[in-house]
DNA sequence: TGGAGCAAAATTGTTGAACAATCTGCCAAA
DNA sequence: TTTGGCAGATTGTTCAACAATTTTGCTCCA
């Protein structure tokens, strides 16, 4: 799995410009991690990566700094940096955050007709994905919906926080041994959520969201706990 | 104002250890900015600062990366990094965030007796500070209270976000021409907030918080707008 | 066989110097 | 007054080196 000693990057032909190497490299790595090419827990060696990406060790280090700031990557002093590999505690934290900001946005955000239409398009996308059995599309649509919910708050910072949280969620899914159709149960809930928002039933929407998040967390944590115990037995 | 060409830092005698120079330097700079030694908008020259702090330019650069990630500092490509200097739009964003996460924490957080007692101690501190006319202590207590409110959510990430936001608020105050006793009006509101939390009136607490944040934002924005127009008149 | 201890090798942390790219300020020319 | 352009300064990035720390591999001993 290690470091996919990649074909040297072409920094001129890419769609985005050279864009100040360090942040560019951070973007590349973020992308590879999100795409699952770099799996959670794997080590990012400075030497190998700087070679593979064709940048100096110093520049790569700067990129690591920004990724560590986003907690996409974990830095252990004198040991190196590793792709973040969120466990049960991290999942709990994720849901602590979501359980605050999503219902808050639903309750107090500004619900405009355009946003509502976008949301309806997204849930529809989720429904057709479910019918087609496409787990990936379903997950995407699900995340898009909840991102849009937070968007109701109109706050750039909260959006950023939510995006980070959702990125961490994707890592959780990547790290999970078996990938159950985690999302299919929740499509209907999302439909209901959007309906409530359209009807102006803010408090119901918020309460429903909290219930949804509670059960999603429980399911995920349960699954992870099972995975953990299944993986544990080694030397002893 | 510029860069306070400091007496070379002693990295061994400090309370915190050497702690991997880059983050150590970030800590030092963060502290100096918070203390107002480095004023908003002032430029942080790589050469001067690396000299003054006794670290290499590369290491300083890494420190800049982490501070930029916290938006304590603003990085302009090929121009340099500057101490963040939040304006009206940033203040609006700050309050967008606070108006979501503070009432959410008040509504749905876990209110324990210990936290309540802490809060009561803090509001008392604010009251005595007001009576003593100590603006700084009042501001501290005020921020401590609202930090504690977000703490009700039990989420590390939200706490971090709130701390960043409050740090930005301090920058706003630093940058303000005249410092009105902004906080004194709000001490009583805070008392009421804690009373409501103790009484279990969550919704009232949340509603009161939102109202409080609305008027605080209005006052701040008004003040900043006046400052801006007062400073504007230049060439045209 | 199975460690315990220890030296060698590899990796990270940090530095200093160098050079390209970009910006700033200044001075001359139109 | 405006435009053009030329130094000089500053940032962006690389390279090579060395100290500090971790990891690896090996020998030796019970």
Q: Judging by beta carbons within 10 Å of its beta carbon (0-12, 13-18, 19+), is residue B25 exposed, middle or buried?
A: buried
Q: Judging by beta carbons within 10 Å of its beta carbon (0-12, 13-18, 19+), is residue A5 exposed, middle or buried?
A: exposed
Predicted pLDDT of residue B19: 67
B53 in a domain, yes or no?
A: yes
User: Tens of pLDDT along B44-72?
Assistant: 999 999 999 999 999 999 999 999 999 99
Q: Using 50, 70 and 90 to split pLDDT, how confident is the model at B229?
A: confident
Task: Check CB contact of A57 with chain B, cutoff 8 Å.
Answer: no
Predicted pLDDT of residue A180: 66
Percent of chain A scored above 70 by pLDDT?
88
Q: Give long-range contacts, CB 8 A cutoff, 24+ apart: A8-11.
A: A8/A52, A8/A53, A8/A54, A9/A53, A9/A54
CB atoms within 10 A of CB B10: 8
B15 in a domain, yes or no?
A: no
Predicted pLDDT of residue B2: 35
- Round to whole Å and give the CA distance between A13 and A117: 37
Range of the domain at A28: 21-83
| Cα three-residue angle A12-B60-A18, rounded to 5 degrees | 5
Please state, rounded to an integer, the average pLDDT across all residues of chain B: 89
Interface of B with A in 146-205 (CB under 8 A): 153-158, 161, 165
Residues A96 and A132 in one domain: yes
User: Tens of pLDDT along B137-164?
Assistant: 999 999 999 999 999 999 999 999 999 9
Give chain B's domain count.
Answer: 2
CA of A2 and C1' of C18: distance in angstroms? 34
Residues A45 and A112 in one domain: no
Residues A205 and A106 in one domain: yes
User: A156: Cβ–Cβ under 8 A, 6 or more apart, which residues?
Assistant: B93
Among candidates B62, B100, B109 on the partner chain, residue whose Cβ is nearest the Cβ of A101: B100
Footprint of strand D on the protein (CB under 7 A): A 18, 20-22, 54-59, 78-79; B 43, 45-47, 57-58, 61, 75, 77-80
Residues B117 and B164 in one domain: yes
Start-to-end Cα distance in chain A: 26
Q: Using 50, 70 and 90 to split pLDDT, how confident is the model at B129?
A: very high
Among candidates B61, B96, B158 on the partner chain, residue whose Cβ is nearest the Cβ of A62: B61
Minimum CA–C1' distance nucleotide for A45: C11
Q: Across residues A125-137, what is the average pLDDT?
A: 91
Listed residues A58, A83, A108: the one ending a domain: A83
Q: Across residues A73-100, what is the average pLDDT?
A: 97
Residues A59 and A109 in one domain: no
**Chain A residues within 8 A of B165 when measuring between CB atoms:** 157
Q: Does the distance separating the beta carbons of B101 and A108 come in below 8 Å?
A: no
B4 in a domain, yes or no?
A: no
Predicted pLDDT of residue A160: 97
Residues B98 and B194 in one domain: yes
Predicted pLDDT of residue A210: 97
A7 in a domain, yes or no?
A: no
Position A232 pLDDT exceeds 90? no
Residues A138 and A92 in one domain: yes
Predicted pLDDT of residue B8: 39
B2 in a domain, yes or no?
A: no
Lookup: tokens for A112: 């405009």
- Regarding predicted confidence, which is higher, A208 or A227? A208
Q: Across residues A87-115, what is the average pLDDT?
A: 97
Q: Is A11 (CB) below 7 Å from strand C?
A: no
Position B233 pLDDT exceeds 50? no
Listed residues B56, B83, B110: the one ending a domain: B83
Lookup: tokens for A228: 């953990």
Largest CA distance in chain B: 59
Q: Does the distance separating the beta carbons of B105 and A101 come in below 8 Å?
A: no
- Round to whole Å and give the CA distance between B103 and A101: 10
Q: Across residues A200-226, what is the average pLDDT?
A: 95
Q: Are the CB atoms for B146 and B186 separated by under 8 Å?
A: no
Q: Across residues A140-159, what is the average pLDDT?
A: 97
Q: Which of A104, A110, A168 to mutate to test the interface with B (most CBs of B within 10 A)?
A: A104
Q: Using 50, 70 and 90 to split pLDDT, how confident is the model at A9?
A: very low
B16 in a domain, yes or no?
A: no
Residues A187 and A148 in one domain: yes
Predicted pLDDT of residue A175: 82
- Round to whole Å and give the CA distance between A102 and A213: 9
Predicted pLDDT of residue B165: 97
B1 in a domain, yes or no?
A: no
B62 Cα to chain A: minimum distance (Å): 6
Residues A134 and A183 in one domain: yes
Provide φ and ψ at A86, rounded to 5°.
-65, 135
Residues A77 and A155 in one domain: no
Residues A32 and A118 in one domain: no
Position B15 pLDDT exceeds 60? no
Start-to-end Cα distance in chain B: 27
B123 Cα to chain A: minimum distance (Å): 25
Listed residues B66, B83, B100: the one ending a domain: B83
Task: Check CB contact of A10 with chain B, cutoff 8 Å.
Answer: no
User: Tens of pLDDT along B100-124?
Assistant: 999 999 999 999 999 999 999 999 9
Q: Give the CATH number for residue A64.
A: 1.10.10.10
CB atoms within 10 A of CB A177: 11
- Round to whole Å and give the CA distance between B174 and B41: 11
Q: Give the CATH number for residue A144.
A: 1.20.120.530
Q: Does the distance separating the beta carbons of A108 and B158 come in below 8 Å?
A: no
Task: Check CB contact of B56 with chain A, cutoff 8 Å.
Answer: no
Residues A214 and A101 in one domain: yes
Provide φ and ψ at A214, rounded to 5°.
-60, -50
Task: Check CB contact of A67 with chain B, cutoff 8 Å.
Answer: no
Of A12-16, A163-167, B205-209, the least confident:
A12-16
**Chain A residues within 8 A of B77 when measuring between CB atoms:** 20
User: Tens of pLDDT along A26-71?
Assistant: 999 999 999 999 999 999 999 999 999 999 999 999 999 999 999 9
A11 in a domain, yes or no?
A: no
């Amino acid at each position: 799995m290690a470091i996919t000693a990649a074909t040297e990057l072409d920094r001129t032909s890419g769609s985005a410009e050279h864009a100040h190497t360090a942040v560019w490299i951070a973007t590349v790595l973020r992308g590879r991690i999100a795409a699952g090419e770099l799996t959670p827990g794997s080590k990012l060696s400075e030497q190998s990566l700087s070679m593979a990406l064709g940048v100096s060790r110093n520049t790569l280090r700067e990129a690591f700094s920004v990724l560590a700031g986003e907690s996409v990557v974990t830095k252990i002093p004198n040991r190196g940096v590793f792709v973040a590999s969120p466990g049960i505690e991290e999942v709990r934290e994720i849901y602590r955050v979501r359980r605050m900001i999503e219902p808050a946005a639903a309750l107090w955000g500004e619900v405009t007709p355009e946003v509502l239409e976008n949301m309806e398009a997204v849930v529809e996308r989720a429904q057709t994905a479910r019918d087609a059995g496409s787990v990936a599309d379903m997950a995407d649509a699900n995340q898009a919906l909840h991102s849009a919910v937070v968007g109701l708050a109109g706050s750039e910072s909260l959006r950023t926080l939510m995006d980070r949280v959702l990125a961490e969620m994707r890592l959780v899914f990547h790290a999970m041994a078996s990938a159950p159709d985690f999302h299919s149960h929740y499509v209907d809930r999302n439909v209901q959520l959007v309906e409530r928002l359209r009807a102006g039933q803010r408090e119901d929407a918020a309460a429903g969201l909290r219930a949804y998040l509670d059960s999603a967390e429980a399911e995920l944590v349960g699954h992870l706990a099972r995975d953990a115990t299944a993986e544990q037995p080694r030397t002893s």
